[in-house]
Amino acid sequence: MRRWEKKGLITPMRTAGNRRRYTVRQLDDMLGLNTQKELGAVARRGLVIGYCRVSSSGQKADLERQAEVVANYCEKQGYQFRIIKDIGSGMNYKKKGLQELLRLVCEGGCGKIVVNYKDRLVRFGYELIETVCEEHNV
Protein backbone atom coordinates (compact mmCIF):
# COMPACT_ATOMS: atom_id res chain seq x y z
CA MET A 1 0.00 0.00 0.00
CA ARG A 2 2.81 2.40 0.84
CA ARG A 3 4.49 1.68 -2.50
CA TRP A 4 1.24 2.41 -4.30
CA GLU A 5 1.01 5.65 -2.33
CA LYS A 6 4.59 6.64 -3.22
CA LYS A 7 3.81 6.01 -6.89
CA GLY A 8 0.72 8.22 -6.58
CA LEU A 9 -1.65 5.37 -7.40
CA ILE A 10 -3.65 5.61 -4.18
CA THR A 11 -4.15 8.32 -1.56
CA PRO A 12 -4.95 7.28 2.01
CA MET A 13 -7.02 9.21 4.49
CA ARG A 14 -5.26 9.85 7.78
CA THR A 15 -6.70 9.27 11.24
CA ALA A 16 -6.15 11.69 14.10
CA GLY A 17 -3.18 9.47 15.05
CA ASN A 18 -1.79 9.80 11.48
CA ARG A 19 -2.59 6.19 10.54
CA ARG A 20 -3.38 5.42 6.92
CA ARG A 21 -6.93 4.41 6.03
CA TYR A 22 -8.17 3.28 2.62
CA THR A 23 -11.70 2.84 1.38
CA VAL A 24 -12.90 -0.48 0.05
CA ARG A 25 -13.54 1.27 -3.28
CA GLN A 26 -9.87 2.35 -3.49
CA LEU A 27 -8.69 -1.19 -2.85
CA ASP A 28 -11.15 -2.70 -5.31
CA ASP A 29 -10.05 -0.22 -7.97
CA MET A 30 -6.40 -1.07 -7.38
CA LEU A 31 -7.12 -4.79 -7.55
CA GLY A 32 -9.25 -4.45 -10.69
CA LEU A 33 -12.52 -5.53 -9.08
CA ASN A 34 -14.68 -3.22 -11.17
CA THR A 35 -17.73 -5.28 -12.06
CA GLN A 36 -21.02 -3.46 -11.60
CA LYS A 37 -22.11 -5.84 -8.84
CA GLU A 38 -18.90 -5.30 -6.88
CA LEU A 39 -19.05 -1.53 -7.34
CA GLY A 40 -22.62 -1.49 -6.06
CA ALA A 41 -21.60 -3.40 -2.94
CA VAL A 42 -18.72 -1.01 -2.33
CA ALA A 43 -20.95 2.03 -2.77
CA ARG A 44 -23.43 0.66 -0.25
CA ARG A 45 -20.70 0.22 2.35
CA GLY A 46 -19.13 3.64 1.81
CA LEU A 47 -16.84 5.51 4.14
CA VAL A 48 -17.72 5.98 7.79
CA ILE A 49 -17.72 9.60 8.91
CA GLY A 50 -17.18 10.44 12.55
CA TYR A 51 -18.77 13.83 13.18
CA CYS A 52 -17.77 15.86 16.22
CA ARG A 53 -19.03 19.31 17.23
CA VAL A 54 -18.78 21.73 20.11
CA SER A 55 -20.51 25.08 20.48
CA SER A 56 -17.59 27.41 21.08
CA SER A 57 -13.84 27.69 20.59
CA GLY A 58 -13.44 27.57 24.38
CA GLN A 59 -14.44 23.91 24.17
CA LYS A 60 -11.62 22.81 21.86
CA ALA A 61 -10.34 20.34 24.45
CA ASP A 62 -13.81 18.76 24.55
CA LEU A 63 -13.80 18.59 20.76
CA GLU A 64 -10.49 16.70 20.78
CA ARG A 65 -11.75 14.26 23.44
CA GLN A 66 -14.93 13.73 21.45
CA ALA A 67 -12.92 13.05 18.28
CA GLU A 68 -10.70 10.60 20.15
CA VAL A 69 -13.71 8.66 21.47
CA VAL A 70 -15.30 8.49 18.01
CA ALA A 71 -12.00 7.49 16.35
CA ASN A 72 -11.37 4.76 18.94
CA TYR A 73 -14.86 3.37 18.37
CA CYS A 74 -14.40 3.38 14.59
CA GLU A 75 -10.99 1.71 14.85
CA LYS A 76 -12.37 -1.02 17.12
CA GLN A 77 -15.19 -1.65 14.65
CA GLY A 78 -12.67 -1.95 11.81
CA TYR A 79 -14.23 0.93 9.88
CA GLN A 80 -12.48 2.91 7.18
CA PHE A 81 -13.28 6.32 8.56
CA ARG A 82 -12.66 10.01 8.56
CA ILE A 83 -13.34 12.51 11.35
CA ILE A 84 -15.05 15.82 10.60
CA LYS A 85 -14.89 18.44 13.36
CA ASP A 86 -17.01 21.56 13.71
CA ILE A 87 -17.14 24.47 16.13
CA GLY A 88 -20.47 26.25 16.18
CA SER A 89 -24.03 26.21 17.40
CA GLY A 90 -26.08 23.07 16.92
CA MET A 91 -28.76 25.31 15.44
CA ASN A 92 -26.47 26.59 12.68
CA TYR A 93 -26.88 24.41 9.59
CA LYS A 94 -24.24 26.31 7.60
CA LYS A 95 -21.22 24.97 9.46
CA LYS A 96 -18.51 23.91 7.05
CA GLY A 97 -18.17 20.38 8.45
CA LEU A 98 -21.93 19.73 8.53
CA GLN A 99 -22.24 20.92 4.92
CA GLU A 100 -19.40 18.59 3.91
CA LEU A 101 -21.03 15.69 5.75
CA LEU A 102 -24.37 16.24 4.03
CA ARG A 103 -22.65 16.55 0.65
CA LEU A 104 -20.89 13.20 1.22
CA VAL A 105 -24.21 11.58 2.19
CA CYS A 106 -25.99 12.89 -0.90
CA GLU A 107 -23.13 12.01 -3.28
CA GLY A 108 -22.82 8.45 -1.98
CA GLY A 109 -19.43 8.97 -0.33
CA CYS A 110 -20.64 8.04 3.14
CA GLY A 111 -21.98 4.71 4.36
CA LYS A 112 -22.40 5.47 8.05
CA ILE A 113 -22.19 8.41 10.43
CA VAL A 114 -20.85 8.02 13.96
CA VAL A 115 -21.50 10.66 16.63
CA ASN A 116 -21.16 10.64 20.42
CA TYR A 117 -24.68 11.98 20.92
CA LYS A 118 -27.44 13.03 18.52
CA ASP A 119 -27.21 16.65 19.65
CA ARG A 120 -23.58 16.77 18.50
CA LEU A 121 -24.88 16.53 14.94
CA VAL A 122 -27.60 19.19 15.26
CA ARG A 123 -29.63 20.58 18.14
CA PHE A 124 -32.97 20.51 16.28
CA GLY A 125 -33.89 18.75 13.08
CA TYR A 126 -32.06 15.48 13.74
CA GLU A 127 -35.01 13.53 12.32
CA LEU A 128 -34.77 15.47 9.05
CA ILE A 129 -31.09 14.62 8.65
CA GLU A 130 -31.88 11.03 9.64
CA THR A 131 -34.49 10.86 6.87
CA VAL A 132 -32.03 12.23 4.29
CA CYS A 133 -29.49 9.64 5.41
CA GLU A 134 -32.03 6.80 5.17
CA GLU A 135 -32.96 7.89 1.64
CA HIS A 136 -29.26 7.53 0.71
CA ASN A 137 -28.81 4.22 2.59
CA VAL A 138 -26.64 5.82 5.29
> What is the rounded CA–CA span in Å between residue 8 and residue 28?
16
- What is the spatial distance between Cα 79 and Cα 72, in angstroms, rounded to a whole number? 10
Q: Are 110 and 104 in contact (CB under 8 A)?
A: yes
Q: Which of 55, 56, 57, 89 is catalytic?
A: 55
Query: Is 55 a residue of the active site?
Result: yes
- Asked if residue 73 lies in contact with residue 15, where contact means CB atoms within 8 angstroms, the answer is no
Q: What are the residue ranges of helices labelled H in 32-92?
A: 36-45, 60-77
Which strand (E) or helix (H) includes residue 48?
Answer: strand 48-54
Catalytic site residues? 55
